[in-house]
Structure 1
Amino acid sequence: MTTPRYLPVPSRAGWLEHEEFARRVGLHPVLVRRFVALGLVAVRRDGDGRLWFRPTEVAAVARLLRLRAALPLNYAALALVVDLLDRVAELETALRLAASPSPDVLRSDQAHPFR
């Protein structure tokens, strides 16, 4: 007789179950499922098909709701807006890092400490 093999189950410690997540973000669970279907929030499914959310996704949903209130866009369009805003933030960070000199590199206009 062979023992059935199971896939490893990720730890659920710190993760929020679908109903609890919906309660924390103040949305109906059906709308939360719509957000999942649109790819607006990251989710993990367990072996039984239940949805589990990271607590950081609460802030992501709050951001979506603020954008939805400020812009006359549907939820599908918000995915594009969020992607663009995240990309702009990444580019600004890269630009800031490129513009600031490394502490161990001297600029040509700085005096060399050993001259």
Structure 2
Amino acid sequence: DASGALTDDLMAQVREQERRKAEAVGKDYAARPASYKGSLSLKQDRFTTRKRSRSPAKRDVEFVELEKPKEGTLATTSSRPVQMSREAEERRRKLVETYGDAASKSKPATASSSFA
């Protein structure tokens, strides 16, 4: 029976210590939460830091090397942008014929500029 009483007494002491630890004491009682700038100048033990949750496990990613393009396919792809630029140049030429080249002409006088 002596060991049971000793265990109960020890448990009561541990509970009392844990209660004291949980109590707010002194300036910590009803203290305003620290702002961001204010917390930068405070000591680290002044406020509690939360424990970060563990990051999810990273997946192993396998990289698959693609086949290198052959020399014959490289030549056909390089000629295509040249052809597209020719088509774009043809469209630009038609627009210049229709509307004129705004960069080379001076701006015509408008009705609002004649009153100035």
TM interval, short-chain normalised:
under 0.3
Rg: which structure is higher? 2
**TM-score normalised over the length of structure 1:** 0.26
Higher relative CO (Cα under 8 Å, sequence separation at least 6) belongs to 1
Structure number with the higher helix fraction is 2
